[in-house]
Chains A and B, each alone.
Chain A
């Protein structure tokens, strides 16, 4: 069976500006696929091309194997949940959800049945006759998703739909969306600049930068094996240290403040100015045993950033002023550490990832 979405050499330019640069990818049926990227990376343009609001400059876009280039938005088997939701203010909840079904010429009893079943699915039973202005942010969200899902699209596109919600509600909606997707089995294509949304919900995530995909992978791989310098810096928290390579094979680098570390090169690390990436949680305080694959150095605690289970230290190596972010383990093992303390620390060679500076 053909993949739900098949994109071949897709390109979109606005004058000299390349918004989407020759993309090739497929989205599997029933998966939750996210596109993660900073604002202005071209992700909204890509989404609008899939929905049909913009025409690609070059390339092909197939949905279930069917070429979409001459199909207008109202005839495509995809639906879009807008960033600002775009619910129709002059209609109530029920009429909003029924809008698409009416356009398809579905009979009134069938519309009523399908709207009811969807209202129940998004936990809004009994809200059918409310006006849009009477709903809370999260409820509007669910109406917007229901309005698209009721049409049973091959692919549901979501354009940062959680952006307008407050933090707590966003956390809650993340889980609800993931459950809903697993429940209905529709393929979701989710666009966001929020890495936590993408990592939590998705089966696969594409990291987009300057109109290109830097990496398409599972959230776990994206986090632990970032393929490029951009992905390493964009996904997850990390310490970035500019370094000079002092020897290659095995790679040994020296930081600007004189610390020598053994590291793992990723990509083409031929030049001797590199960037070293170390995740805060891969720095181990007071390592139990010294192992030859572990880099050892003393850390001086400068600040403790208490945040419950997410508490971190800001620490410097020896007398330098370059601060490293170190995650504390969740047990209370290091609760006694205070400002100004010096602790031995270690980091495994595999967790010291070096990328060539500048380009990807």
Chain B
């Protein structure tokens, strides 16, 4: 019996371990080694910290780095603010029959690829796009306005692409909440605001945490949306990495940036968990 259990565990865990080893650990070790190498004046490959030093000395790298981190946090907060009322409405207010239908409606846009969705936004927002056409023909605008290629549009695009990953954990954590908890708090003298802060938010906290982590990481590592909707002035750190690898062909520099981004996301998530007093294991289970 025990041997069978061991064998079963072994069979199931092997693909996971292989996947982790071959696709995560090995490439990362390779990248780490790469980031610590550089060429000296003679063109020979040597061990060096120059790639990391470059990051701290070049202002543009710094600037992009901080900007990306800040915007990713803002995207996470905005996504939460947009999706929480939706999740609350679906789980607590409409009838159960309708809530399944609404959830499907919510998921439907995510059946098409991110690229197609971003192009959809571009068709709506560009200078010759649908919204400009409607506004000018209605007489509200004299001339078409370029709505693409600025930070606001980029943020909106990022929030839109991340919504799914916030709304699903929120719905599942709110679904588990008994309505009588809300009534009990109300009965014990709590105002609607207090109920929200003391009962609903703490109850949904694991869902909020796991949603936030996923959304934050996706936003931080997103390439497509900032590239297509953000335009020239909205640099994203992933674009810097891409440039190093593809444009400059400086793989060592690109690898160093990659590791800095990894360190940054880990640090911010760690800080977020500390501040909200959540545990990673609890949030993701």
Residue B187 at the A interface, CB < 8 A?
yes
Contacts of A53 in B (CB 8 A): 183, 186-187
Q: How far is the CB of A81 from chain B (nearest CB, A)?
A: 9
Contacts of B205 in A (CB 8 A): 90
Q: State which residues 180-214 of B face A: CB under 8 Å.
A: 180-181, 183-191, 194, 198-199, 202-203, 205
Residue of A nearest to B199 (CB): A88
Q: Is A79 a contact partner of B178 (Cβ separation < 8 A)?
A: no
Q: Is A73 a contact partner of B178 (Cβ separation < 8 A)?
A: no
Q: Is B189 a contact partner of A86 (Cβ separation < 8 A)?
A: no
Residue of B nearest to A75 (CB): B189
Residue A30 at the B interface, CB < 8 A?
no
* Known contacts A86-B180, A86-B184, A100 near B203 by CB under 8 Å: no
Q: State which residues 87-109 of A face B: CB under 8 Å.
A: 87-90, 99-100, 103-104
Per the bound structure, the CA–CA distance linking A52 and B181 in Å amounts to 15
Per the bound structure, the CA–CA distance linking A99 and B184 in Å amounts to 10
Q: Is A99 a contact partner of B185 (Cβ separation < 8 A)?
A: yes
Q: Is B188 a contact partner of A79 (Cβ separation < 8 A)?
A: yes
Q: How large is the interface on B (under 10, 10 to 19, 20 to 34, 35 or more residues)?
A: 10 to 19
Q: Is A82 a contact partner of B202 (Cβ separation < 8 A)?
A: no
Residue A74 at the B interface, CB < 8 A?
yes
Interface-central residue, B183, B194, B205, by most chain A CB under 10 Å = B183
Residue A49 at the B interface, CB < 8 A?
no
Q: State which residues 9-63 of A face B: CB under 8 Å.
A: 51-53
Per the bound structure, the CA–CA distance linking A53 and B180 in Å amounts to 11
Q: Is B187 a contact partner of A51 (Cβ separation < 8 A)?
A: yes
Interface-central residue, A83, A86, A147, A151, by most chain B CB under 10 Å = A86
Contacts of A325 in B (CB 8 A): none
Interface of A is mostly: loop
Q: Is A84 a contact partner of B178 (Cβ separation < 8 A)?
A: yes
Q: Is A82 a contact partner of B188 (Cβ separation < 8 A)?
A: no
* Known contacts A89-B203, A90-B202, A103-B194, A151 near B189 by CB under 8 Å: yes
Q: How far is the CB of A114 from chain B (nearest CB, A)?
A: 14
Contacts of B187 in A (CB 8 A): 51-53, 73-74, 79-80, 148
Q: Is A80 a contact partner of B189 (Cβ separation < 8 A)?
A: no
Residue of A nearest to B191 (CB): A74
Interface-central residue, B183, B184, B185, B190, by most chain A CB under 10 Å = B184
Interface-central residue, B180, B194, B199, by most chain A CB under 10 Å = B180
Q: Is A86 a contact partner of B199 (Cβ separation < 8 A)?
A: no
Contacts of B181 in A (CB 8 A): 86, 88
Q: Is A151 a contact partner of B188 (Cβ separation < 8 A)?
A: yes
Q: Is B180 a contact partner of A99 (Cβ separation < 8 A)?
A: no
Per the bound structure, the CA–CA distance linking A148 and B188 in Å amounts to 7
Per the bound structure, the CA–CA distance linking A158 and B184 in Å amounts to 12
Per the bound structure, the CA–CA distance linking A73 and B181 in Å amounts to 14
Q: Is B203 a contact partner of A73 (Cβ separation < 8 A)?
A: no
Q: Is B203 a contact partner of A99 (Cβ separation < 8 A)?
A: no
- Determine which of B178, B183, B189, B202 lies in contact with A100 in the assembled complex, contact meaning CB atoms within 8 Å: B189
Contact with A along B87-125 (1 / 0, CB 8 A): 000000000000000000000000000000000000000
- Determine which of A74, A90, A151 lies in contact with B186 in the assembled complex, contact meaning CB atoms within 8 Å: A74
Contacts of A83 in B (CB 8 A): 180
Contacts of A82 in B (CB 8 A): 180, 183-184
9 A-B pairs with least C-beta separation: A100-B188, A86-B184, A103-B189, A86-B180, A90-B202, A74-B189, A73-B186, A80-B187, A82-B180
Enumerate 9 A-B pairs (CB-CB under 8 Å) in ascending A order. A53-B186, A74-B189, A74-B191, A79-B188, A90-B202, A99-B185, A100-B189, A103-B190, A104-B189
Known: A82-B184, A88-B184, A103-B194. 8 other contacts (CB 8 A): A73-B183, A73-B187, A74-B186, A74-B187, A80-B187, A86-B183, A103-B189, A151-B189
A residues whose Cβ falls under 8 Å from a Cβ of B: 51-53, 72-75, 79-80, 82-84, 86-90, 99-100, 103-104, 147-148, 151
